[in-house]
Amino acid sequence: MATTIYTLLESPIGELLLTGDGEAVTGIWMPSHRSEWKRTQTLQRDDAALAAARTQLSEYFAGERTVFDLPLAPEGTGFQRKVWAALCEIPYGETISYGELARRIGQPTAARAVGLANGSNPLPIVVPCHRVIGADGSLTGFGGGIERKRWLLAHERKFAQVTGDLFS
């Protein structure tokens, strides 16, 4: 049985469970989707090993960070990793549709597959799957729940406007 390190972080969207392998962050779990986390692993609390993740997420929630600089090691298929990499290219405070994300990865007819990969993202917030919305602008699917997605998008819009005003 593999040992996974973890720490907890209180946030405006609830307590987050951060997991890692000792070198990289492997997961960010919100209360509503922790049941999806692999319970076959042994947990060992190590706040120091995940201190950078805790700090950067706290800065994000305070409106002081728009880009993350963390070593990440999400488990996923090649296609999922391609989608997750594309998610990281969506600018802070902006949204795109699943169809647009599919076009960006060179598979314009794969919007549903992109949606599934987006929903399998084990690193929400840092790999910003919350920035993907329905083609009609509606908030669709989010492992942390639609209310958390709505909060994250409003939070980013608020601070993106402040940043834009300061540097315009």
Distance (Å, rounded) from C-alpha 91 to C-alpha 56?
17
Q: Is 129 designated active site?
A: yes
Coil/strand/helix, residue 135:
coil
**Residue 66: φ, ψ to 5°:** -115, -15
136-167: b (≥16 Cβ within 10 Å) or e: eeeebbbbbbeebbebbbebbeebbeeeeeee
Token pair 């639609």 is found at: 146
Distance (Å, rounded) from C-alpha 99 to C-alpha 92?
19
Q: Which of 129, 132, 152, 153 is catalytic?
A: 129
Could you tell me which residues come within 8 angstroms of residue 64 by beta carbon, excluding any fewer than 6 positions away? none
Active-site residue numbers?
A: 129
